[in-house]
Structure 1
């Protein structure tokens, strides 16, 4: 298993979420205490068999999942992940983090997530399409623009969303653009969606850096994961004259104390599909990524990356969680004791779901905004979320993560309480 895989698997991710809920419970108002366990149980979890005919004529079976964690504030929202390590506990955790994330941003959604245990790189384009269409048909009865709206995640992309939309629409007898977000723009997708998560990482990072009196110009930045999120965050920090000193992806880790020239790196990746071998930096051991002296570190790969052992070694002033759940609770404690500021995933990487919300709204109205309008709306919502969380942390004397959970859980549990339980 590569360095960008899970430290303790998906079960560790679910346990991390449960620990986060336990930590926030004492801060919640007394009238919501009876409802806290709502957050510890997914509303609905579906496991499906996904058989497909391979190009050689053989039949292979893959296991798929769709989990709806909480729908108290609106339809489910969350990505579809294709990865060989996908399993139920991981999908449950990712759905739960989406519940928190949409509530922190005050979007009218609940949390959901899905996935198929498969290595998409080992499938042909036709096999990938068959897999997607079969999976969509298996979960079609629980998704929909007012039920649950999937989106891209690790191992999926706009093309996959297009196949999902078409398959669902075929069953309805008409085109339903709002059933998924992250689609190609010409199929009802939104401008700015691909770059939104990385942009959100940058915006929240700049907001918190300003509060810490950390100058972005000439700040040293290290990034784990160089897909849509990591690469866009890198581009924006680079344009702000920060130094990108270390990058790790699935092919290896590269380091240049003077700063990596990103334009040359992007050209190299176009040809070689990874950072390994890039001549503008030296190759270092994957584990050495966590020892690099840096101002800002951005884990933008998979969950479970910052362990207790790595938390002791990190040399950074601020962590921007571009990935979901990259830091274990025990590691959280160590980082906080060491004075390393963590901008938690539930606000830091929420740019993607925010623009997904914009896409959904545009699909419902069949009226589309310019990319400048999208970015302006995104920036305002992200800045407001940081301000809200920062104020909550100050008022309660807690970390930004706990503050984000206080705000989110209050909103979710108030909705649950006011809707009531039927039948009583």
Structure 2
């Protein structure tokens, strides 16, 4: 994933006529921190967790990016994700560079007290390089508003003043923004609507398949269902269910657990691989990376693929899909709604003035539509696919800012 990101960045910079010295600057994060966090577990033992924080480039402004708790977190993944955050901020024209954090752990096997200790320990470990004007974290995989609340509380104790702008994705009562919890899914839904228009597909009665039922996937399923689309397949980490007449999304939302798992309640499940190959109009990978590869790209039947997850389609699969005429909307464009509303939250925290949900939704829609149209326009002007076009749009702002600063 890290190497693939660097490959496309190199190609995008060449298309924009930037030299190799710019690539040398932007191919890796400017700053990367590895920390060790001791936590006293409920059984009395002390377990030491490894955590990371990557800051890709701060030429435009402070870095911004989520924190994920996952057993497969690794250094290369966190670095790649911080670069993607830079690209997302460039695409949406936000005043941020990209950051990302992660802790190697499995929160599904930890108690609430253990998670709180881990969250606070992580903030103490990275406190010297983060802050409202340095690097602003947010939720990501297996983290939520409660974890953000523990983190902002710990940071406020360390700095000895209230600092809500340190982190986004907080509960509303602690300075969170309305619309933040559904922001990623809302952004994906807006992009799906725009992509459907380009392909002449009426979203009402369109057949949609969504891989993943976490924060993004579950809310997106609800948005698609309410828009009149038929959600004919969804999955969680254990398996998938399908119904050609459309699934009862409200029922699935009611019966899922806190990690988005529901498939154990059904006997007639299929695999995630089978789900991806279902006959549908719109396919949304909203789970984990490397799900559409050169092994299954020829079997994808969707007319449109919109990436809600980070890195679900390999570069080889991207080429196959594009050659087959599948309209692929890349992750750094389609899932940028999360960082956009995180930016809104940061602005509201800095002003101590909070917006209505309608204001948030309207501002988000304008940014997502404008960003989609800009990337689509660049893809047509330069005759490149949407992924390369998105990289070109995303990297240009960083490259220009770095030039003005005299960094390259």
TM-score of the superposed pair, with normalisation by structure 2 = 0.97
Cα distance in 1 between the residues matched to 2:314 and 2:271: 23
- Tell whether the 8 Å contact from 1:256 to 1:282 is kept in structure 2 after alignment: no
What does residue 320 of structure 1 align with? 306
Q: 1:272 and 1:300, CA in 2 relative to 1: closer, same or farther beyond 3 A?
A: closer
Q: Indicate the SS of the match to 1:111.
A: strand
CA-CA distance at 1:285 after TM superposition: 2.6
Cα deviation, 1:239-259, whole Å, max 9, x if unaligned, reads 111110111111311011111
Q: Indicate the SS of the match to 2:121.
A: helix
What does residue 17 of structure 1 align with? 5
> Aligned-pair RMSD on alpha carbons?
1.5
Cα distance in 2 between the residues matched to 1:225 and 1:42: 29
* Pairing of 1:327-366 with structure 2 (within 5 A): 327-366=313-352
Q: Indicate the SS of the match to 1:302.
A: coil
- Tell whether the 8 Å contact from 1:243 to 1:259 is kept in structure 2 after alignment: yes
Cα distance in 2 between the residues matched to 1:29 and 1:285: 44
Cα distance in 2 between the residues matched to 1:89 and 1:277: 33
Q: Indicate the SS of the match to 1:241.
A: coil
Q: Indicate the SS of the match to 2:182.
A: helix
* Pairing of 1:18-417 with structure 2 (within 5 A): 18-30=6-18, 33-269=20-256, 274-278=261-265, 282-417=268-403
Cα distance in 1 between the residues matched to 2:381 and 2:164: 42
Cα distance in 1 between the residues matched to 2:225 and 2:56: 37
What does residue 419 of structure 1 align with? 405
CA-CA distance at 1:339 after TM superposition: 0.6
Q: 1:387 and 1:271, CA in 2 relative to 1: closer, same or farther beyond 3 A?
A: closer
Cα deviation, 1:282-316, whole Å, max 9, x if unaligned, reads 41133211221111111111122111112121111
CA-CA distance at 1:22 after TM superposition: 2.6
Cα distance in 1 between the residues matched to 2:260 and 2:216: 16
Unpaired stretches in structure 2, ≥5 consecutive residues: none
Unpaired stretches in structure 1, ≥5 consecutive residues: 1-12
Cα deviation, 1:80-104, whole Å, max 9, x if unaligned, reads 0000000100000110100101011
Cα distance in 1 between the residues matched to 2:20 and 2:35: 35
What does residue 4 of structure 1 align with? none
Q: Indicate the SS of the match to 1:298.
A: strand
CA-CA distance at 1:36 after TM superposition: 2.0
Cα deviation, 1:193-221, whole Å, max 9, x if unaligned, reads 00000000000110111011111111111
- Tell whether the 8 Å contact from 2:225 to 2:249 is kept in structure 1 after alignment: yes
Number of residues paired by the alignment? 408
CA-CA distance at 1:33 after TM superposition: 4.9
